[in-house]
DNA sequence: GCACATCGTGATCATATGATCGACGAAAAC
DNA sequence: GTTTTCGTCGATCATATGATCACGATGTGC
């Protein structure tokens, strides 16, 4: 106070002045002009000092929240895999991870869906949870739903109840049938063809990512067996999206199983403007990593430990 | 004055949005309009969210402490009084000095508190302000709070609201009672004994330093009278920490008042690994000087003119 | 039912901020 | 010695920001 305000003929240490300025600016809420008057500096100089302080890392902004650490991961995921967007939710011991992912996915979609758009949906527990949370938004915004594969009717119908049915278009078939010929026949059905071509026009696709593990929903729901999974794994499968298994680079494998699926293929899926995947958990790390690598998805919604593991694994 | 009526808790996903906005603004350097476009918010709403985030302590600006503050004074204070650390904030005529000290104290503690540690807190306006700013960090890092004395419930409860109460341990009594026998009885209460012994295990103690002046918070809040203060002063008191008055060498006096306190004594306080005091203002120079001389504190957070005055006075 | 307070919202506008540019001076190169 | 180069400075101006206002939705009490 004594000499500090008087002529600063010789600079008191640069850093000291700088942090003094920063303190006044960020903690006291003074404007740059006020600081300038007080310390006999031109306003513009104060501005430059603050800029330098920020660039030099002297001024550090901390976000005091469990979300804070997630954003850095999001940025890296987006950058590494060229995603349109990544969402990472904070680690949390308690609570079902699928519920939390579904919550995040529905939030994301709510912010993104515009009136009268069309959402194509795939298969899986997280997708179901997301749709349940979205139900209101869907009818309110007059969003059409269309299925990417067979086998979704079971859970979509619950969501769609109370809505005018004309906005919900389901492929009236199971996800997988027992023979290639049957699958071909179903795919040739007029109604099936119609729904599938409608799905190609959707604005967004919402899909889950499955791990090649015994806990997979595909096994639990009887669409595949453990021994089949074992074979897939030997062939290099690390995960699946809408029933299609892919290798560690996200390239779809050539499996007989795929011929028995009723649903869109990867080319058709990729043609949808934005493919949104919600998945997490340690079992799914490889599956998500491969899908991201292969460019199978545009938006990834996952959780913090999984995101961390994906990035670490990728760099190894 | 700061009103404590700010909500401390966010709506579930409001915190995410707020954090995201803050991240884009401070880390990515996006403008508020850009953030608005990206997240489908009006520019003005983004502005308000940032404001709210700052007020509620979600966003914290940290000025790298190795340069921060007033170098020379900090170094001298540390050296003269053997402090672990001194923080001196720049002079500022306008603005409430307690708020600015509280800001500095909370910043110091944020950088220091580790997960699951325990913070013991004393009495006073600055302590209260610090706790308000720390509230988010405390719950986020799972910090336990414990009181060093009675009489803190009034303001701690505001801070602790929304947190699981098991992490906050208050001495359920006033700071001072009217008779020694009552104080003894209270100190013997099982619950009081428990809390006090817990306080002894804290990692840090955060205390204010009171001057022996008519403006003292002790007088304002009715715990002591002016005439009592006059008597204390005649006995050589220059200041108090957690209600205990000491002379110009920081040695506690033998006052009847002390026998009526409900709280830890100086020996117990000193046993806590780091005692952090935040205090400033011309009235408190003697009190702070004596506390520093007597080794009552390990960390001092004060303001520039006060630090200057302390050093000058000591050399006289 | 109505009036009323309260809150959240976006529009408007004054102010704060930072990008750009030319001027100046010091140090280095010629 | 001159010239060049570089960096710093402040003036100017476009833009970003936040204060204020007015409106509409919501809830409350009479």
Q: What is the pLDDT of residues B93-124, one digit of tens each?
A: 766 888 889 988 998 998 889 888 999 999 88
> Would an 8 Å CB–CB cutoff place B115 in contact with chain A?
no
One domain, residues A221 and A113: yes
One domain, residues B224 and B291: yes
Q: Which domain holds residue A272?
A: 68-315
Q: What is the CATH number of the domain that holds B36?
A: 1.10.10.10
The tokens of B262 are what? 């409900």
* Domain edge (last residue) among A61, A83, A101: A61
Whether residue A109 contacts residue A195, with contact meaning beta carbons closer than 8 Å, is answered with no
The tokens of A165 are what? 């049915």
The rounded distance, in Å, linking the Cα atoms of B244 and B193 is 19
Across the interface, whether the CB atoms of B91 and A4 are under 8 A apart is answered: yes
- Residue ranges of alpha helices (H) inside chain A are 14-22, 32-39, 43-55, 68-81, 97-112, 125-140, 153-160, 180-188, 190-199, 217-220, 226-234, 256-259, 266-271, 285-293, 304-315
Distance in angstroms: CA B48, C1' C30: 59
One domain, residues A273 and A198: yes
One domain, residues B240 and B99: yes
Instruction: State residue A175's pLDDT score.
Output: 92
Instruction: State residue A159's pLDDT score.
Output: 63
Burial label, B221 (beta-carbon count in 10 A; 0-12, 13-18, 19+): middle
One domain, residues A28 and A106: no
* Domain edge (last residue) among A29, A61, A93: A61
Q: What is the pLDDT of residues B173-207, one digit of tens each?
A: 899 999 999 999 999 999 999 999 999 999 999 99
Instruction: Select from B90, B100, B115 the residue whose CB has the most chain A CBs within 10 Å, as the one to mutate to test that interface.
Output: B90
For chain B, what's the residue count?
316
Whether residue B39 contacts residue B273, with contact meaning beta carbons closer than 8 Å, is answered with no
Residue B152: inside a domain: yes
Mean local confidence (pLDDT), B26-34: 90
Check residue A252 and report its DSSP letter: B
Distance in angstroms: CA A17, C1' D3: 36
One domain, residues B188 and B44: no
- Residue whose tokens read 């991201």: A292
> Which residues in B lie closer than 8 A to residue A24 (C-beta atoms)?
90, 92
> Would an 8 Å CB–CB cutoff place A11 in contact with chain B?
no
> Which residues in A lie closer than 8 A to residue B35 (C-beta atoms)?
none
One domain, residues A80 and A176: yes
The rounded distance, in Å, linking the Cα atoms of A163 and A169 is 12
Q: Which helix (H) or strand (E) holds A61?
A: strand A59-63
Instruction: Select from A15, A23, A57, A94 the residue whose CB has the most chain B CBs within 10 Å, as the one to mutate to test that interface.
Output: A23
* Domain edge (last residue) among A20, A45, A61: A61
Q: What is the pLDDT of residues B129-177, one digit of tens each?
A: 898 888 878 877 888 899 999 988 766 665 655 555 458 888 988 999 9
The tokens of B61 are what? 């600006």
Cα B232 to Cα B175, B209, B229, B260, B269, distances in angstroms: 17, 15, 5, 15, 21
One domain, residues B185 and B142: yes
One domain, residues A284 and A161: yes
Number of domains within chain A: 2
One domain, residues A273 and A241: yes
Residue B215: inside a domain: yes
One domain, residues B168 and B308: yes
The residues pairing with A204 across neighbouring beta strands, listed in sequence order, are A119, A274
> Would an 8 Å CB–CB cutoff place A79 in contact with chain B?
no
The rounded distance, in Å, linking the Cα atoms of A308 and A210 is 18
The rounded distance, in Å, linking the Cα atoms of B103 and B222 is 27
DSSP class per residue in chain B: ---TTS--SPPTTHHHHHHHHHIIIIIS---HHHHHHHHT--HHHHHHHHHHHHHTTSEEEEE-TTT-S-HHHHHHHHHHHT-SEEEEEPP-SSS-HHHHHHHHHHHHHHHH--TT-EEEE--SHHHHHHHHHHHHHHHHTT-EEEESBSS-HHHHHHHHTTS-GGGEE---S-SB-S-HHHHHHHHHSHHHHHHHHHHTT-SEEEE--EESSTT-HHHHTTSS-HHHHHHHHHTT--EEETTEEE-TTSPBP--HHHHTB-B--HHHHHHSSEEEEE--SGGGHHHHHHHHHTT--SEEEEEHHHHHHHHHHHH-
Residue B105: inside a domain: yes
Cα B151 to Cα A42, A57, A144, B56, B223, distances in angstroms: 48, 41, 61, 25, 10
Q: What is the pLDDT of residues B208-265, one digit of tens each?
A: 999 999 999 999 988 999 999 999 999 999 999 999 999 999 999 999 999 999 999 9
The rounded distance, in Å, linking the Cα atoms of A38 and B94 is 11
Q: What is the CATH number of the domain that holds A262?
A: 3.40.50.1360
The tokens of A112 are what? 């993104």
> Would an 8 Å CB–CB cutoff place A166 in contact with chain B?
no
Per-residue pLDDT tens listing for chain A (316 residues): 333 333 333 344 677 788 888 988 998 888 999 999 888 889 999 999 998 888 888 888 888 888 888 999 999 999 999 999 999 998 887 778 999 999 899 988 988 888 888 999 998 889 999 988 888 778 777 888 999 999 887 666 666 555 554 588 888 888 999 999 999 999 999 999 999 999 999 999 999 999 999 999 999 988 999 999 999 999 999 999 999 999 999 999 999 999 999 999 999 999 999 999 999 999 999 999 999 999 999 999 999 999 999 999 999 8
One domain, residues A76 and A52: no
Check residue A200 and report its DSSP letter: T
Which are the contacts of A291, defined by CB distance < 8 A and separation ≥ 6?
Answer: A209, A239, A241, A246, A250, A277, A297
Residue B267: inside a domain: yes
């Amino acid at each position: 106070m004594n000499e500090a305000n008087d002529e600063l003929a010789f600079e008191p240490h640069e850093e000291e002045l700088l942090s003094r300025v920063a303190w006044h600016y960020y903690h006291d809420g003074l404007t740059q002009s006020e600081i300038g008057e007080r310390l006999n500096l031109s306003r513009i100089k104060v501005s430059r000092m603050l800029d330098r302080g920020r660039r030099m890392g002297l001024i550090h902004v901390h976000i005091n929240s469990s979300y804070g650490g997630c954003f850095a991961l999001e940025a890296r995921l987006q950058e590494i895999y060229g995603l349109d967007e990544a969402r990472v939710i904070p680690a949390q011991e308690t609570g079902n991870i699928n519920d939390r992912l579904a919550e995040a996915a529905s939030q994301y979609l709510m912010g993104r869906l515009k009136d009268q758009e069309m959402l194509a949906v795939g298969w899986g527990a997280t997708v179901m949870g997301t749709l349940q949370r979205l139900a209101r938004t869907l009818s309110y915004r007059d969003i059409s739903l269309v299925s990417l594969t067979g086998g979704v009717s079971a859970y979509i119908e619950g969501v769609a109840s109370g809505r005018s049915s004309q906005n919900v278009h389901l492929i009236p078939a199971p996800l997988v049938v027992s023979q290639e010929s049957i699958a071909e026949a179903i795919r040739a059905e007029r109604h099936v063809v119609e729904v599938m071509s409608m799905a190609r026009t959707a604005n967004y696709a919402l899909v889950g990512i499955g791990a090649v593990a015994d806990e997979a929903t595909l096994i639990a729901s009887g669409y595949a067996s453990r021994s089949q999974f074992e074979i897939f794994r030997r062939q290099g499968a690390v995960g699946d999206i809408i029933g299609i298994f892919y290798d560690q680079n996200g390239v779809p494998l050539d499996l007989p199983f795929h011929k028995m699926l009723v649903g869109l293929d990867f080319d058709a899926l990729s043609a949808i403007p934005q493919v949104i995947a919600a998945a997490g958990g340690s079992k799914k790390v490889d599956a998500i990593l491969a899908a991201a690598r292969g460019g199978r998805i545009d938006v990834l919604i996952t959780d913090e430990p999984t995101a961390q593991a994906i990035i670490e694994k990728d760099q190894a």
